[in-house]
Amino acid sequence: MARVPGPITLVEPLSGSTAMLIKINAIHVRKRSKYQEIIIADTEDYGRVLILDDYIQSSYHDEVYYHESLVHPAMITHPQPRDVLIIGGGEGATLREALKHPTVMRAVMVDIDAEVVELSRQYLPLMHQEAFNDSRAAVVIENGLAYIERALKAGEKYDVVILDLTDPYASDIAKPLYTAEFYLKVRSLLREDGIMVTQAGSSYYFPEVYDATLNSVKSAFPVVVEYNVWVPSFGYAVNFILGSLGHNPAALTAEEVDRKLRERGVSTLFYSGRTHVALMHLPVFRKVRRKEA
């Protein structure tokens, strides 16, 4: 039944030896910024997508699975997240989800690439849904590494830090933000009961990179929780690693999560108390290597 080739076919790499062929019906943007190649296109199966350096970053038809899973476990686990820092997240969907919490007084989104943000504003309205214009939001165009250094010097403090960066194995610009040194800096930026969460790519296709990221988070935080969610347009279960200075998301019951969502008036399409508990209990996917009998 292989009828993929549309007017255009995207070859979406999952690893060096597996890729998905994706039917593209229209390309709205294709340009190289100072940092990466940016494509915004309409696909048959996933709707409109943002692609950076060949990797799908988010797609209209399945981005809620990713962005709600990235944002709400940390935001719900923190009792009163007022100041939130997002590094990456150029299309604005992570900012959109964080701003759903009325506790948030200030949400700073730092992305290295102005063109990703500007093109997302224009071509990806369903992603940001005007989050960039929220009076609580501030968008800063800067390398997240430099921003963290400046914020530390300025004595800034945050309750939740969300790292929504390109994959650690996909782009050199994000790599330094998956290290123990960086996570220790993030820890210094957090208040005493702060929480950090990062997207961590694929533990199945890139186990060494995943384990290095996991160990780096473990070196900076006393409480570390791993979880993951299937994202069809990625072709794999994307991993998240949460580091906390105290509160443990795995300790929350479905009822407690639902109560907090209700109290805060946070509406979601995928995340709920039951989803939270499921996410906290799903094993991390890795290659199962067995000796031939």
Q: Is 167 in the site for ligand SAM (CB under 6 A)?
A: yes
The answer to whether residue 53 is catalytic is: no
Residue number with CB closer to ligand SAM (34 or 153):
34
- 37-43 and 19-32 strand pairing: antiparallel
Residue 16, judged by CB atoms within 10 A of its CB (0-12, 13-18, 19+), counts as exposed
Q: Does 164 bind ligand SAM (CB under 6 A)?
A: yes
Six token digits for residue 173: 């610009």
Question: CB 242 → ligand SAM: shortest distance, Å?
Answer: 15
Per CB under 6 A, contacts with ligand SAM among 103-122 are 110-113, 116
Beta-bridged to residue 160, according to DSSP, are: 84, 195
Residue 177 within binding range of ligand SAM, rule CB under 6 A? yes
DSSP letter assigned to residue 251: G
Q: Which is nearer to ligand SAM, 145 or 195 (CB)?
A: 145
Number of residues that bind ligand SAM (CB under 6 A): 27
Residue with structure tokens 């915004």? 40
165 binds ligand SAM (CB under 6 A): yes
What is the CB neighbour count within 10 angstroms for residue 105? 11
The distance of closest approach from Cβ of residue 246 to ligand SAM in the complex, given in angstroms and rounded to an integer, is 27
Q: CA–CA separation, 281 vs 274, rounded Å?
A: 11
Here's the x/- map for ligand SAM, 65-94, by CB under 6 A: it reads as -x--------------------xxxxx---
Distance CA(12)–CA(7), nearest Å, equals 16
Strand 137-141 versus strand 106-111 pairing type? parallel
Q: Which of 83, 111, 113, 164 is catalytic?
A: 164
Q: Which has the closest alpha carbon to 245: 195, 189, 171, 288?
A: 195
Q: Please choose, out of 125-133, 160-168, 188-196, 265-273, the segment that lies near ligand SAM by the rule CB under 6 A.
A: 160-168
Catalytic positions, written as ranges: 164
Q: By CB under 6 A, name the binding residues for ligand SAM.
A: 50, 52, 57-58, 66, 87-91, 110-113, 116, 143-145, 164-167, 173-174, 177, 199, 238
